[in-house]
């Protein structure tokens, strides 16, 4: 499952090398409407892309669908794609997830390269070979594990992001900090998100990606320790699904709120230090605000948690921590405990 991750300071050189390493007959460049407008200008004059056939899809998670996937397959076919073609995915996690899935299934699989353009996709979606689409109202319900040939991380693209998208990606970095070590986590809590040093941020992205890579290499198909990466996500995905029909939030906001819930469980179930939990909750509330759930929403949130892919035989499964870097997978909670967790979330 390992793919090559390049932390680039020269996108032209990095992309030329990555494309040159894969023998191909046709080159396709997949973008969404946003990255076509904001990110294509960064790469459009690179000679290796001069022959590329552009495929443009709708932006945001609402287009991460079977219809969009079919459109990409159709355009690959119409553009003369064969089993020896190569696709470059230029975009956030939605583009790299859907593009990776399209590449993995077209002609039973063509090779692909990811250039993640959002902070979230750099630290989360671009590494680990998970691809997929949303289906039947559930996130990432259909997909395969299939790693890209190369992932290129370049700080240039971070400058195209608004503050909310920086924060969304930063939540996954906080999660990586919590599952790695005190030093990296302290660096994350002390970083000034209100006046961003992009070079420093790119270095932290490198550290964050290395945390994820280490875990994915140990457990490529998520049978054990890879579940560490689910910290914050059991509650977070429920918040995200709940918000979809009301006021959608970016994925990272939902994860940040999920971290509040799951650090609370970590305190009461696995002995996580209360002071570190409170420090993290303060940081999250200061930057992400709070999700306006009420007691009336608990049943619905609980329902979403029962659908989580990580569950076994209907038992809701959490990844918790005994301390920073001390990962406790396969922790469970019953309905009453989950309602108490949601009380804590609302009162914190």
- Kindly list the catalytic residues: 108, 130, 172, 212, 222, 226, 230, 233, 237, 251
3-state secondary structure of 300: helix
Tell me how far apart the alpha carbons of residues 229 and 179 are, in angstroms, rounded to a whole number: 8
Dihedral pair phi/psi, residue 37, rounded to 5°: -80, -45
Tell me how far apart the alpha carbons of residues 98 and 12 are, in angstroms, rounded to a whole number: 24
Cβ–Cβ under 8 Å, residues 328 and 322: yes
**H or E segment at 220?**
none
- Name residues whose C-beta falls within 8 Å of residue 235's C-beta, 6 or more positions apart in sequence: 257, 258, 261, 262, 301, 305, 341, 345
Nearest C-alpha neighbor of 90 from the set 113, 110, 73: 113
Tell me how far apart the alpha carbons of residues 46 and 345 are, in angstroms, rounded to a whole number: 48
Dihedral pair phi/psi, residue 30, rounded to 5°: -95, 130
CA 92 to centroid of chain Cα atoms: 9
Helix residue ranges, H only, the chain: 11-20, 33-38, 40-43, 66-78, 93-105, 119-120, 163-178, 182-190, 198-218, 233-244, 251-270, 274-288, 298-306, 335-347
Tokens encoding 260: 């509040």
């Amino acid at each position: 499952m390992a793919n090559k991750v390049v932390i680039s300071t020269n996108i032209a050189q990095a992309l030329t090398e990555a494309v040159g390493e894969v023998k191909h007959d046709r080159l396709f460049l997949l973008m969404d409407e946003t990255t076509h407008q904001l990110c294509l200008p960064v790469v459009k004059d690179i000679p290796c892309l001069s022959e590329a056939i552009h495929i443009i899809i709708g932006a945001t998670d609402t287009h991460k669908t079977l219809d969009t996937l079919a459109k990409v397959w159709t355009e690959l076919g119409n553009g003369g794609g064969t089993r020896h073609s190569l696709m470059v995915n230029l975009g956030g996690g939605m583009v790299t997830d859907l593009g990776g899935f399209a590449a993995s299934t077209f002609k039973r699989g063509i090779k692909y390269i990811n250039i993640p353009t959002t902070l979230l996709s750099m630290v989360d979606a671009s590494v680990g070979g998970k691809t997929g689409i949303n289906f039947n109202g559930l996130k990432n319900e259909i997909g395969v594990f299939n790693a890209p040939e190369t992932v290129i991380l370049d700080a240039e693209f971070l400058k195209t992001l608004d503050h909310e998208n920086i924060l969304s990606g930063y939540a996954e970095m906080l999660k990586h900090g919590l599952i790695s070590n005190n030093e990296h986590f302290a660096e994350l809590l002390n970083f000034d998100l209100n006046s961003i040093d992009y070079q420093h941020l790119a270095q932290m992205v490198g550290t964050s990606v290395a945390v994820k890579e280490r875990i994915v290499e140990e457990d490529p198909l998520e049978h054990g320790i890879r579940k560490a990466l689910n910290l914050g996500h059991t509650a977070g995905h429920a918040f995200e699904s709940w918000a979809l029909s009301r006021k959608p939030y970016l994925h990272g906001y939902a994860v940040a709120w999920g971290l509040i819930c799951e650090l609370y469980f970590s305190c009461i179930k696995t002995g996580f230090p209360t002071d570190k939990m409170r420090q993290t909750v303060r940081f999250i509330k200061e930057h992400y605000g709070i999700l306006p759930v009420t007691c009336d929403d608990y049943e619905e949130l609980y329902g979403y948690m029962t659908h989580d892919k990580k569950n076994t035989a209907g038992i809701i499964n959490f990844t918790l921590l005994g301390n920073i870097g001390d990962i406790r997978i396969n922790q469970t909670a019953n309905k009453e405990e989950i309602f108490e967790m949601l009380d804590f979330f609302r009162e914190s």
